[in-house]
Every structure is written in C-alpha cells, then in structure tokens.
C-alpha cells in the first residue's frame, strides 16, 4: 500500500492498482519519465510518474520522493468530501419551513385571540382558549405520521430488496428525477465474456478459439477472468478433447513488460509455442500470418488492416487480445522470452463485459417514470458509449474528465442539460457533476459501490449502494439494494413515491383543515356571546380527528401520482392551505349562522356540542376529498383501514355527547333535528370541495 503521494525516481516494472481512486481494476504502469503526452492526459490519476496514497503495488519495485502527505494528498482531498457530511434534503428543509410557518401563526394568533376575547370572558378563559387555538392550528401528529409513514414505506421497500438506512431519504428516493450511475455492474454483468474469435481478416474461426483455449488452460499461473472466459467459451464449443490430447511442455509466464503469456504444448506429433497478449506486443514478435491454413509474410498493409480491425472491435466495446503460434520447435530443453520471435499471427479474441439483459427495459421504465439516467464512469469513451447504446442511453455526446477539468461550473451546467455520458472521471469530478446537477434544481440519486464513489454518494440527495459494496460506500449510502439491478431500484422508487404521497396527504389536509377551523372559531368567538367551543372540547375534537389520520400510512395511492417524481414544495403547501382552508371555514360559518339565525339556538352547551360533532364528521369526510385528485369512492378508493377509521371515529364523534365522557368535557345529548345539519352540511361540503378541486388543479396543475 502506497502511504503518500510520491514522485517516482527509480522504477523497475512497477504496476499499481488504482481502483480505490478510479474504480477501474486494470493495473497502471508507473515510470520515471512520462510516456503520456499532455493531450492524452485525461485527469490527475492518469499521471504515470506519480504514485498516489491509498493505491497498491501489483508488481515490480520503485523508489519515490514524497510530495504530499495525509490530508494534502489526492486521496485526502477525496476523503475530505466525505467528512463534510450530507447537506439537508428538500424534505428536511420543507418540514423545517412548515414548523417555522406554524410557529409564526401561533406567535401572532395567541395574543390576538386573547385580546379579542378578554373583554367578554375572564382572563383565564380567554388565555386558555387562545392557547387551545394555537395548539389546534398545529398538526399535532406530524412527527408520528411522518415517522410511521416512512417506517411503513421502509418495511414495504425491504420486501422488494431495498433496505432504507435513513428514513428521510425515502422522500428523496421518490422525488429523484436524475439517477447517476457507474457502468460496471449496474449496466453490465461485471463479468468478462469471450464474444469473438476472429482470423486476421475479421472472420469467425474456431482455430483461434482452440489456440486461445490451449494457452489459457495449460498456463499454470493464477487464471484471471480473461482465462476463465476463454475456457468457458471453449468448453461450450465441445473442446474438452484437447485437454487429454495435448500435454504441457513448458511455459513463459506473463509479465507487465512483455504483456503476453506463452505456453509450449505437444499433441504427440508436434510441439507448438502458443502466445496471447496485447495486439501491439504480438505484432512486434510476428513475421508471418496464417489465413485459413496458408502462411504468408506479414506486410505493412496487413499490419494496418489488423490495427483497423482491432480499433473497430474496441469501438464495439470489446477488449482485444491477439493470438500467435510457432511450430518449428526442435531440440529446445528450456524455453524463454528469446524464443518469442518469428511467430505466425493467427487472429484475435474479443472480450466484453456484456450489458445486463434487464438493463435496457429498466432504463426505459426509469425514463417513463420521469427519471433520467446519467452515466459517470472512470472507463474509456469507446467501451462506455457502446454499452450505453445497447441499453438505450443517448450516446451521441460523450464528455471526458479532462474536458470537465477545464470548464467553469456554469459551462458544465449547460453541458448537463443534454449530455448523459461522462467518462474518464476522477472521484472529485464525479462529485462535482452530482453537486452541479443538484444546484440546477434536480433531485439527484447516485448509485455506486466503490471507495471512489463515496464523495458522490455523500454529495447526492440520495446515495444508493448494494450489499456487496465496500464498507465506506455502504456507510455513505442512504439506501442499500440487495441486488445490483435497476429493476430493484425502480421498485424502491415506486414505494418511495407512495410513501411521500401519503405523507403529503396528511400535511396538506391537516394544515388546510386546521387553518380553516381556527379562522372560523376565531370569527365565531368574536361574534357570539359565548365561546363556540371550550378549550378542552377543541383539544378532544382535534385528538379524535388526528386518530382518524393515523391510518394514512396504509392508504392507497393513485397510479397517476406515481408516474413522475414529486418534490416537497412549501409554496405549493401555502397555496393549498390558503385555498382549501377558507373553503372549509365558509361551511363552518354556515353552521354558525344556521344555528344562530335559523334554529335560534342560544344554549351554549348544545351549540358547542353540535359544532364539536360536526367538525369531526366534516373533517373525516373531507379527508377522502383531499386524499385524491380524482372523485373519491368512485374513481379512487382509500384502503380498508382508512375507510374503517373514518367510519368508526365519525360514529364515536356522534356518540360521545351521549356518554359520561361527553358530560365531563361539557357536551350534552344532541336533539334529533340537529342531526340533519351534522350529516347534511358535510355532504354538501364534499360536492362543493369537488368543484373547488377541479378549479385548483386547472389553475396550479397539481393537487397532492
């Protein structure tokens, strides 16, 4: 493990693994003098004369001068983005804004209500009434409903292989409109597969697969994923007979300088030296080519054609390895690197980390759900572009990390509007893109599982990882998927939207109904010679109504609501409260006027009892109007639990005045003629509220 940022001053075949910084598993060669031109340098991690803290030596040796230590290193800069902590989400800020809004109402209303009633009633009565009004305007069960709704949502999500670490993140999960993700393992299988075995003219040829199989099978070193892919493909093509037919004579192991591996095998008739390796390295040791069994000298045109085919395969997202052999081997006891010359080029094998079968349909469903997928990867442009094209992500425009480094934030924000693929990115560049997407007004999710993903997981609105991720990624994430599949993520998003929908139902109906009731009670307290309700009656009424809303976490959510992301918007809440609150207040005042002028009711206890029962029935019935943008009971049905609680608590509200509990809080039995008001006016309110709902939706384009 490299303990600091170092400048290499001596080096011998030094190869370093930088996956902790870049996420890419291939080892990188480090030299005394750079082999990379300034034009080829994409980002700081590409510097081949610098070793970075947190990376590890794969092979070779070197000496270096320490240039940065601890927090000043490149790794330290990455770590700093994690320790800064996650900024508050729109949901958290929204809840804080509601709290501040309600506190302002309480601070203003309490003295006003006290002053308005102090001249008619005793100071104690006026004060307790003012305090009760302040309490009534507050959604008392907001913490309980919020916690229970989020907890219920987390339980449902866990059944769909989505584990919620931080409850607040559920809202962001549902509100997410951009998903940033890496390529490897999310869009691809994260498993190398041998896709092609081609001769020198690009035609499929089983001879190439046979020679690659002999090389991979008989080499005695640690078999990498490439060797395993070759063996698996050969066995699928019934090449097991070669295992017994051929015997290993010798081998020349792989090293990072030659970038090739050779085996010597014998089938009883002849001895062959078979070599596989990087195209450039194999071309450098070949003097002949074999095409359909005919051997001819390699020419400049043939070399150019081979390089062209190799480049085209790269564009298709394939990693290309060349295969060559030599047959004229006689009287050699020990084979070495010096024998890897004057060889015959046979062809190529092409490997691919194939896209997941589910990726394309998942991307399509995410797009249909209003979620745009942006790929942020440390991999190269050609491979990433090929994979993205196959899974349905717009790949016309690809931006590299080196370009990002030179641009201002404003320029990057402009790019982000129509660019979905960013390649050769460092961890800090990924985190920067996530931050700028958030600053553009998006709710951004980031899916990653490596150390290099941690800054982006912290920077995002909702960090998503998988249970097989490294510890720091899981620690930084808000959501853990038990399966690295975008379909699992989509199921979680749907549950997140349901949870947010049920939470917003409570917040909007509680604030609007409470606001309306407080307005009407204040007006009535001024107009009437007695209080429309005593403080204790106000509190008990609010408690019963709140119990009815405790079932909202279990409510159904309309399918139309789940089709696009939803953000917490305090302005939308204010508009809803100021629109629906006065409407319910108007019906309250109709009740007051009817009792006073039509029924000539002057008895305070009876007046208060009718108002108490009406408020409970009206609010519980009105809850069904608020919970959906459709026509309730016909186009949209609540859950059985919501129906049950509404009916039960409405009955309790009607029965309480006839019980000893009602007597304790000053209620009296309701005369039968007044029951028509208690049942009839709420039904009338429902019809008017439906009409008002249509006006509101037409004006503001939303409901919940």
Question: Hey, which residues are catalytic here?
Answer: 182
Rounded Cα distance between 316 and 318, Å, is 6
Contacts of 239 (CB under 8 A, 6+ apart): 209, 210, 213
Neighbours of 656 (CB within 10 A): 21
Rounded Cα distance between 493 and 445, Å, is 11
What is the pairing mode between strands 421-423 and 372-376?
A: parallel
Q: How far is CA 675 from each of CA 540, 552, 587, 672, rounded to the nearest angstrom?
A: 20, 28, 16, 5
Q: What share of the chain is helix, strand, coil (3-state, %, to 5)?
A: 55, 20, 30
Phi/psi-derived region of residue 436, left when phi > 0, alpha when psi is between -120 and 50, beta in every other case: alpha
CA 505 to chain centre: 24
Q: Which helix (H) or strand (E) covers residue 586, if one does?
A: helix 570-593
Neighbours of 589 (CB within 10 A): 15
Task: Give the closest residue to 612 by CA, choosing from 518, 533, 522.
Answer: 533
Q: Give the residue carrying structure tokens 């998942």.
A: 362
DSSP 595: I
Task: Give the closest residue to 682 by CA, choosing from 627, 622, 635, 640.
Answer: 622
Neighbours of 632 (CB within 10 A): 20
Which neighbouring-strand residues pair with 320?
350
Which neighbouring-strand residues pair with 9?
none
Residues in the chain: 704
Which neighbouring-strand residues pair with 68?
5
DSSP 370: T
By three-state DSSP, how is residue 79 classified? helix
Q: How far is CA 7 from each of CA 1, 14, 31, 47, 68, rounded to the nearest angstrom?
A: 15, 13, 9, 10, 10
CB 614 within 8 A of CB 681: yes
Q: Which helix (H) or strand (E) covers residue 6, if one does?
A: strand 5-17
């Amino acid at each position: 493990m490299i303990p600091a940022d170092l400048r290499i001053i001596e080096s011998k075949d030094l190869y370093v693994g930088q996956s902790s910084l870049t996420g890419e598993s291939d080892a990188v060669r480090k030299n005394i003098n750079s082999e990379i031109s300034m034009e080829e340098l994409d980002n700081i991690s590409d510097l081949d004369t610098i070793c970075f803290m947190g990376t590890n030596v794969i092979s070779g040796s070197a000496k270096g001068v320490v240039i940065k230590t601890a927090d000043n290193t490149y790794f330290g800069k990455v770590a700093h983005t994690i320790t800064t902590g996650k900024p508050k989400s729109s949901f958290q800020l929204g809840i804080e804004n509601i709290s501040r809004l309600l506190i302002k109402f309480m601070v203003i209303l309490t003295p006003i209500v006290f002053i308005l009633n102090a001249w008619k009633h005793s100071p104690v009565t006026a004060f307790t009434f003012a305090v009760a009004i302040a309490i009534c305007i507050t959604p008392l069960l907001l913490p309980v409903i919020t916690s229970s709704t989020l907890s219920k949502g987390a339980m449902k999500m866990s059944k769909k292989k989505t584990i919620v670490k931080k409850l607040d993140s559920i809202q962001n999960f549902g509100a997410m409109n951009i998903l940033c993700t890496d390529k490897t393992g999310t869009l691809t299988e994260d498993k190398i597969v041998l896709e092609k075995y081609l001769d020198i003219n690009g035609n499929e040829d089983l001879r190439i697969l046979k020679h690659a199989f002999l090389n991979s099978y008989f080499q005695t070193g640690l078999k990498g994923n490439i060797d395993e892919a070759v063996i698996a493909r050969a066995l699928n093509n019934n090449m097991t007979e070669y295992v017994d037919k051929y015997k290993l004579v010798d081998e020349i192991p792989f090293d990072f300088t030659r970038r090739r591996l050779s085996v010597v095998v014998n089938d009883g008739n002849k001895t062959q030296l078979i070599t596989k390796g990087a195209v450039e390295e194999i071309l450098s040791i070949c003097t002949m080519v074999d095409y359909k069994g005919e051997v001819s000298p390699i020419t400049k045109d043939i070399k150019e054609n081979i390089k062209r085919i190799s480049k085209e395969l790269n564009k298709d997202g394939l990693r290309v390895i060349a295969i060559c052999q030599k047959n004229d081997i006689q009287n050699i006891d020990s084979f070495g690197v010096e024998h890897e010359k004057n060889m015959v080029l046979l062809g190529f094998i092409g490997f691919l980390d194939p896209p997941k079968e589910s990726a394309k349909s998942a991307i399509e469903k995410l797009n249909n759900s209003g979620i745009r997928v942006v790929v942020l990867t440390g991999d190269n442009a050609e491979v990433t572009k090929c994979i993205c094209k196959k899974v349905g992500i717009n790949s016309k425009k690809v931006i590299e990390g080196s370009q990002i480094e030179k641009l201002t934030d404003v320029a990057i924000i402009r790019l982000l509007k129509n660019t979905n693929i960013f390649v050769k990115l460092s961890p800090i560049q990924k985190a920067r893109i996530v931050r700028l997407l958030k600053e553009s007004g998006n709710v951004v999710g980031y899916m990653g599982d490596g150390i290099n993903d941690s800054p982006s997981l912290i920077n995002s609105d909702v960090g998503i990882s998988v249970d097989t991720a490294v510890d720091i990624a899981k620690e930084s994430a808000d959501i853990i998927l038990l399966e690295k599949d975008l379909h699992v993520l989509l199921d979680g998003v749907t549950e997140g939207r349901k949870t947010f929908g049920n939470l917003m139902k409570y917040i909007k109906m509680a604030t609007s109904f409470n606001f309306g009731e407080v307005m009407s009670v204040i007006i009535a307290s001024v107009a009437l010679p007695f209080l429309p309700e005593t403080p204790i009656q106000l509190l008990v009424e609010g408690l019963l109504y709140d119990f009815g809303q405790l079932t909202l976490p279990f409510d159904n959510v309309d399918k139309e609501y789940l089709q696009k992301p939803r953000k917490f918007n305090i302005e939308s809440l204010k508009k809803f409260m100021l629109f629906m609150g006065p409407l319910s207040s108007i019906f309250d005042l109709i009740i007051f006027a009817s009792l006073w002028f039509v029924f000539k009711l002057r008895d305070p206890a009876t007046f208060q009892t009718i108002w108490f029962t009406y408020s409970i029935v009206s609010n519980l019935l009105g809850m069904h109007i608020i919970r959906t943008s459709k026509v309730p009971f016909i186009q949209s049905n609540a859950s059985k639990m919501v129906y049950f609680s509404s009916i039960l608590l409405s009955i309790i509200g009607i029965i309480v005045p006839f019980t000893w509990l009602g007597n304790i809080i000053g209620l009296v039995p309701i005369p039968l003629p007044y029951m028509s008001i208690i049942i009839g006016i709420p039904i009338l309110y429902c019809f008017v509220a439906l009409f008002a709902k249509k006006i509101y939706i037409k004006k503001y384009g939303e409901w919940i």
